[in-house]
Structure 1
């Protein structure tokens, strides 16, 4: 068939998917999933702790394996795709990045809040010096006007990013907003800097949002097998590829291969089904970072309150990634008001 669009896919099962398994994938799990993905046609396979390099901690949750063991396990089996890592300045450091490169990582995605691109300068510049494919990640983009996203994206491009992503970390966007923001970023960046889009499925529209992003000029899209990820998960890779085939979008990915990988490799390793339950739906409704869900559930149980009330209040306060300590404060305040 004649394709209308051509894009590159990044699979995030082994990074964002870590949130859904409490960061407990083993090196054996990592090898099995990476092997299944390699050769399917996905351009990049992202693999780190859910919160990126250096994320294994008491604050973000300890991983089952050391970072080096986990990354080496993935890099040892991947031959066709590139292996990428996520780095959040303030959690991960340049030294963490250098260790990841020593393990075999070939690309890095440097993530900041959508108004704080300036803190990515050191990491993006160092990544380019290390010869890495380098991507800027503007998280919680639903909180930021399109004009500001363009300004922040230009900063990342000026530091050396090959691509800049609009990231719907809360799964709070609908299609019109995606179109407006992706189009503005595409028009505002140099032509040689690609635009990407990363969706969460908390409102059940991640596939539709991702297709809308492609129509507006996004050349890179993120997805994960079985939609594994925080909250109601990411754009499910196998569903998105199938939809793209019907819609005329060339992903370069073999549909049956990713269907098999999802069904036979990832699904048996899932701790729970990825569903749009009341808590994850509230994430999208309130516009709260999807990785807050497990923390909110724990705080709700500790203080005997409704996790939805915690999430809505966090959204009202416009809490962003890195402010996880506020979850307990909010839960305590709600409990005191009872």
Structure 2
């Protein structure tokens, strides 16, 4: 393939990707779930005016998570429903949904309030809980995504099998999720090409920025055939943050004009509304090491606590834990590994 033709194919693939903005969902982790109604309205309106069609909001862990975990959002789910319905005139709004935190009636109520899409989040090592929620979501007329959290813990063959199963449930799209921000761009592109060749369902990509590669990985996913790419204004999000909406919109424009996204308006929205919001402290050493060892940020407190109790280096312990169990390490396992690291 000639260089010119190859470049053209790459540009076409990248430009085909659609941004799904999750500033108001993933970004809520960064503000301890305290987005105000004023901020929610401003972001929703600004994103729609800039050409985005898919906008996610609500608690970082999805429907009913605040109540289930006793960590409520400042603006409750039902109020988010009303604000989104009142503010958006063209774009679809949706929420995240983790089976077990959310029950079917929570999904039914959200759909009744006008929600257009739902994203059902499950660990890629056990996708079975998604089945009944996909079935219900389709009955409710929702565009239905399944997000395969911690995609990085399986090899390509395992990812293909998980995606195929979710497609069998009836999902409209399946997301591959770099929960730890540890993928490299060539790995992402190769993974999307492999999965896309094996399963016909449209794919999405959700990346984190632990190694500073979220935007590059998003582009790699698009070049590999991803139909949807998650992003947040100013990259705000859990831990190291996410692909940057305004920058990725500009990247898509760089690959092919006429994407429909006003990246300048997005940059202004990011600068005026999101950047001024105070955020929780982000420990860069933890985030970088988490990306390198592919350790999810939710396990940082447990690893830190066990390292301090055993008087061992927390990052050596993080590495040891990642070599044994990256999906759901137990406290007992971490304690045993911490003891084993003692001189």
- Judging changes above 3 Å, is the alpha-carbon distance between structure 1 residues 285 and 95 closer, same or farther for their aligned structure 2 residues? same
In the alignment of these two chains, the number of paired residues is 330
Q: Which runs of 5+ in 2 are unaligned?
A: 1-7
Q: Is the 8 A contact 2:308 2:314 kept in 1?
A: no
Q: Give the SS at the match of 1:16.
A: helix
Give the match for residue 287 of structure 1. Answer: 294
Give the match for residue 181 of structure 2. Answer: 171
- Judging changes above 3 Å, is the alpha-carbon distance between structure 1 residues 242 and 299 closer, same or farther for their aligned structure 2 residues? farther
Q: Give the SS at the match of 2:23.
A: strand
- Within-5 A mapping of 1:234-245: 234-245=242-253
Please give the alpha-carbon distance, in whole angstroms, between the structure 2 residues aligned to 1:204 and 1:235. Answer: 9
Please give the alpha-carbon distance, in whole angstroms, between the structure 2 residues aligned to 1:161 and 1:335. Answer: 44
Deviation at 1:24, TM superposition (A): 1.4
Please give the alpha-carbon distance, in whole angstroms, between the structure 1 residues aligned to 2:40 and 2:306. Answer: 31
Q: Which runs of 5+ in 1 are unaligned?
A: none
Say yes or no: does 1:12 pair with 2:12. Answer: no
Deviation at 1:147, TM superposition (A): 1.3
- Within-5 A mapping of 1:139-154: 139-154=149-164
Task: Tell me the TM-score normalized by structure 1.
Answer: 0.87
- Within-5 A mapping of 1:87-236: 87-190=97-200, 193-236=201-244
Alignment deviations for residues 142-181 of structure 1 (CA, whole Å, 9 cap, x no partner): 1111111111111111111111111101111111221221
Deviation at 1:200, TM superposition (A): 0.5
Choose the corresponding residue for 2:260, options 252, 257, 276. 252
Choose the corresponding residue for 2:271, options 263, 266, 269. 263
Choose the corresponding residue for 1:83, options 90, 93, 114. 93
Larger radius of gyration: 2
Give the match for residue 50 of structure 1. Answer: 60
Q: Give the SS at the match of 1:135.
A: strand
Please give the alpha-carbon distance, in whole angstroms, between the structure 2 residues aligned to 1:253 and 1:232. Answer: 25
Give the match for residue 69 of structure 1. Answer: 79
